[in-house]
Amino acid sequence: MLQQVYAAVVAAVSRLTLSTSPAENLRKFREYQLSRSERLKYGFMLVVALFAVTVIREPPLPYKLLPPVLYTLALLFPITSQFVLPASPIFLWLLLFYSCRFIPASTRPHIWVSVLPTLETIWYGANISDILTRFGHPALDILAWIPYGVVHFVAPFVVAAFIFVYAPLGSVKWFGNVFGFTNLLGVLTQIAFPCAPPWYELREGLTPANYGMRGSPAGLARIDALFKGHGYTLTFTGAPMVFGAFPSLHAACATIESLFLSYFFPGTIRLGRFAIDKRVFYWGYSFWLYWCTMYLMHHYLIDLVAGGCLATICFYVFRTESVRNAMEQRSAAMERAEGHDTESVVLDRISHPHLVPSQSASHEEKDKPPTRPTIFTLDESDDVATPDIVRARSPHMLGSDSAVASQSSRAAVGNAISRPASSTSNRVAPNHPIAD
């Protein structure tokens, strides 16, 4: 099993380009034709970037121009642009979040203190966050701290790594767009509609708030006291966005991770006689984090609903046609694999991508040349065919063509790697509304 996973990782890494020629990327930039949706997307990003760089006062000019300069240089080299370009929305979100502290208070909107608890009471019949905070205990504090203060910051990297290795080509770029734009739109909403979180109501009541107030770690202060530290206290009291309760970006990120894992890695895990759907674990983590945000007094329930809805909208808006087709064809191939264990069929296509499956490929797919695919190129919309194999994992990386595992061992590995998806063509039609 470890050999199979190692081979998949090596095959995924081998697809990365090592070219350092700026002329190659400049040629692709000149030849690339932006669609209307792409012009809208990058125009919006440019406006937000200019706003953020303009309002930043620390560091002053010319030092605050260093991040844009480094970003531009990274786009020139293929070896770095393959990482920087998909992550552009995430970098922009981080830049905007940092710049929030420098927006003049005189130009910022009114801070809403009572609107969230009022809406919570009207819609749900009670202040759910207030009810949850009444049952405090050190064990519950630890249980809430683990996903909110630790796992939340690690999970996006883990999910992106699994998507890079096992999902169809272009899936990581989709993940970057969804993750970046969800957080970016969330911060813009928090700037335009600032709302006080539950800890403010507990500390200040419903008295008017102002932008000179500092943030609070709320329930995480008990974690600092437990471990005799000041990390969360210093982080939250100096946060650039103090009144950013609505929407909850913690809930949005957890929703994104569960959506992508459910989409790419469904299936079941067998525990003895029982078969448990993996999506139970994915969404179990999300609901665990939903509870944490309210228990630690950082968000109301309405904030979680808004964050989850924003994440779901971005998930479907930025989904590319190529990834959807790849997943649909994989599902169809599984259904056509009559009389075979579906996990074994998937693993066969990983271990021997050049072997033509008898029941899961058409004659046209069999005749496709074994072209080596690339990822994160600047011309992802070109009409270049990619082979209908799973991420071009070479059988030579698995030892030899004769080293075929037994059906039972293949099924075990298939469960471990969660049914990797087929890499049907990742090229998107240039005129597609979300062709980026």
Contact 299, 243 (CB under 8 A): no
Cα 245 to chain center, whole Å? 21
243 in helix, strand or coil? Answer: coil
- Using alpha carbons, select from 403, 328, 322, 390 the residue that is nearest to residue 12: 390
**Residue reference for tokens 């969330």:** 186
Number of Cβ atoms within 10 Å of the Cβ of 214: 9
- Using alpha carbons, select from 218, 221, 181 the residue that is nearest to residue 196: 218
Q: What's the number of CA atoms in the CB half-sphere (13 Å) around residue 421?
A: 29
CA distance 277 to 60: 53
- The answer for residues whose C-beta is within 8 angstroms of residue 297's C-beta and 6 or more apart is 129, 133, 197, 198, 199, 202, 218, 219
Which pLDDT score, from 0 to 100, does residue 123 have? 86
CA distance 43 to 284: 38
- The answer for residues whose C-beta is within 8 angstroms of residue 332's C-beta and 6 or more apart is 360
DSSP code of residue 270: E
CA separation, residue 113 to residues 117, 118, 127, 301 (Å): 8, 9, 14, 15
271 in helix, strand or coil? Answer: strand
Burial 136-166 (b: 16+ CB within 10 A, else e): eeeebbeebbebbbebbeebbeebbebbbbb
Which pLDDT score, from 0 to 100, does residue 4 have? 85
- The answer for residues whose C-beta is within 8 angstroms of residue 188's C-beta and 6 or more apart is 48, 96
CA distance 258 to 213: 35
Contact 198, 218 (CB under 8 A): yes
The DSSP code sequence of 345-412 is: HHHHHHH-TTSPPSSS--HHHHTS--PPP--S-TTTTS-----SSSTT--GGGGS-TT-PPPHHHHHH
pTM, to two decimals:
0.76
pLDDT per residue, tens digit, the chain (436 aa), is 788 888 888 888 888 888 888 999 999 988 888 888 889 999 999 999 999 999 999 888 889 999 999 999 999 999 999 999 999 999 999 999 999 999 998 899 999 999 999 998 888 887 787 788 888 888 999 999 999 989 999 999 999 999 999 888 889 999 999 999 999 999 999 999 999 999 998 888 889 999 989 999 999 999 999 999 888 999 998 889 999 999 999 999 999 999 999 999 988 888 888 888 899 999 999 999 999 999 999 999 999 999 999 999 999 999 988 888 888 887 787 777 655 544 444 444 443 333 333 333 444 444 444 443 333 333 333 333 333 333 333 333 333 333 333 333 333 334 433 443 333 333 333 333 333 3
- The answer for residues whose C-beta is within 8 angstroms of residue 335's C-beta and 6 or more apart is none
CA distance 239 to 214: 8
